[in-house]
Amino acid sequence: MKRTLTAVVLLTAMTTVNAAPFEKGDPKIGKTLVDKSCLSCHAQMFGGDGSKIYTRADRKVKTPQQLAARVAACNANTGANWFPEDEMHVDAYLNQQYYKFK
Protein backbone atom coordinates (compact mmCIF):
# COMPACT_ATOMS: atom_id res chain seq x y z
CA MET A 1 0.00 0.00 0.00
CA LYS A 2 2.74 2.37 0.96
CA ARG A 3 4.57 1.48 -2.23
CA THR A 4 1.54 2.22 -4.39
CA LEU A 5 1.17 5.57 -2.72
CA THR A 6 4.81 6.42 -3.38
CA ALA A 7 4.37 5.45 -7.03
CA VAL A 8 1.30 7.64 -7.38
CA VAL A 9 3.05 10.59 -5.78
CA LEU A 10 6.09 10.12 -8.02
CA LEU A 11 3.97 9.85 -11.12
CA THR A 12 2.04 12.99 -10.26
CA ALA A 13 5.27 14.86 -9.66
CA MET A 14 6.67 13.72 -13.01
CA THR A 15 3.55 14.72 -14.90
CA THR A 16 3.68 18.16 -13.38
CA VAL A 17 7.31 18.59 -14.38
CA ASN A 18 6.59 17.49 -17.94
CA ALA A 19 3.82 19.98 -18.39
CA ALA A 20 5.83 22.93 -17.08
CA PRO A 21 6.35 25.77 -17.83
CA PHE A 22 3.05 26.19 -19.67
CA GLU A 23 1.05 23.65 -17.73
CA LYS A 24 -2.18 25.61 -17.92
CA GLY A 25 -2.23 25.48 -21.71
CA ASP A 26 -3.72 22.69 -23.79
CA PRO A 27 -1.34 21.76 -26.65
CA LYS A 28 -4.18 20.29 -28.72
CA ILE A 29 -6.08 23.57 -28.76
CA GLY A 30 -2.78 25.35 -29.39
CA LYS A 31 -2.09 23.27 -32.49
CA THR A 32 -5.47 24.13 -33.98
CA LEU A 33 -4.83 27.82 -33.37
CA VAL A 34 -1.35 27.75 -34.88
CA ASP A 35 -2.47 25.75 -37.91
CA LYS A 36 -5.18 28.27 -38.56
CA SER A 37 -3.42 31.60 -38.01
CA CYS A 38 0.32 31.10 -38.15
CA LEU A 39 1.47 28.35 -40.50
CA SER A 40 1.18 29.89 -43.94
CA CYS A 41 3.58 32.74 -43.36
CA HIS A 42 6.25 30.61 -41.68
CA ALA A 43 5.81 28.00 -44.41
CA GLN A 44 6.41 30.59 -47.13
CA MET A 45 9.69 31.51 -45.49
CA PHE A 46 10.97 28.07 -44.54
CA GLY A 47 9.06 25.65 -46.76
CA GLY A 48 7.25 22.52 -45.68
CA ASP A 49 4.94 23.13 -42.77
CA GLY A 50 7.04 26.07 -41.62
CA SER A 51 8.04 24.36 -38.40
CA LYS A 52 11.74 24.86 -39.24
CA ILE A 53 11.31 28.38 -37.95
CA TYR A 54 11.13 26.89 -34.45
CA THR A 55 13.92 24.34 -34.86
CA ARG A 56 16.51 26.21 -36.94
CA ALA A 57 19.94 26.46 -35.35
CA ASP A 58 19.80 30.23 -34.94
CA ARG A 59 16.24 30.40 -33.67
CA LYS A 60 15.44 33.48 -31.66
CA VAL A 61 13.46 31.98 -28.81
CA LYS A 62 15.72 30.65 -26.07
CA THR A 63 13.61 30.79 -22.91
CA PRO A 64 9.97 30.18 -21.97
CA GLN A 65 9.62 33.92 -21.39
CA GLN A 66 10.82 34.70 -24.90
CA LEU A 67 8.44 32.12 -26.30
CA ALA A 68 5.49 33.72 -24.52
CA ALA A 69 6.64 37.18 -25.65
CA ARG A 70 7.06 36.06 -29.27
CA VAL A 71 3.66 34.38 -29.38
CA ALA A 72 2.09 37.50 -27.87
CA ALA A 73 3.85 39.71 -30.45
CA CYS A 74 2.88 37.48 -33.40
CA ASN A 75 -0.67 37.39 -32.07
CA ALA A 76 -0.77 41.18 -32.05
CA ASN A 77 1.05 41.60 -35.39
CA THR A 78 -1.11 39.19 -37.29
CA GLY A 79 -4.41 40.26 -35.79
CA ALA A 80 -5.22 36.70 -34.74
CA ASN A 81 -7.13 38.25 -31.84
CA TRP A 82 -6.36 35.52 -29.37
CA PHE A 83 -7.28 35.75 -25.72
CA PRO A 84 -4.53 35.28 -23.14
CA GLU A 85 -5.77 31.70 -22.60
CA ASP A 86 -5.32 31.05 -26.31
CA GLU A 87 -1.74 32.29 -26.14
CA MET A 88 -1.19 29.92 -23.24
CA HIS A 89 -2.46 27.00 -25.35
CA VAL A 90 -0.17 28.01 -28.20
CA ASP A 91 2.80 28.38 -25.83
CA ALA A 92 2.07 24.90 -24.50
CA TYR A 93 1.84 23.42 -27.99
CA LEU A 94 4.98 25.03 -29.38
CA ASN A 95 6.90 24.15 -26.25
CA GLN A 96 5.77 20.53 -26.20
CA GLN A 97 6.35 20.05 -29.90
CA TYR A 98 9.47 22.11 -30.63
CA TYR A 99 11.13 24.10 -27.90
CA LYS A 100 10.94 21.57 -25.06
CA PHE A 101 11.75 24.01 -22.28
CA LYS A 102 11.55 22.41 -18.87
Which residue, 14 or 69, has its beta carbon nearer to ligand HEC?
69
**Integer Cα distance of 44 and 9 in angstroms:** 46
Q: Sign (positive/negative) of CA torsion 6, 7, 8, 14?
A: positive
Whether the Cβ atoms of residue 72 and residue 61 lie closer than 8 Å to each other? no
Minimum gap (Å) between residue 78 Cβ and ligand HEC? 4
27, 37, 92, 101: which one contacts ligand HEC (CB under 6 A)?
Answer: 37
Q: Given the rule CB under 6 A, which residues bind ligand HEC?
A: 34, 37-38, 41-42, 53-54, 59-61, 70-71, 74-75, 78, 80, 90, 94
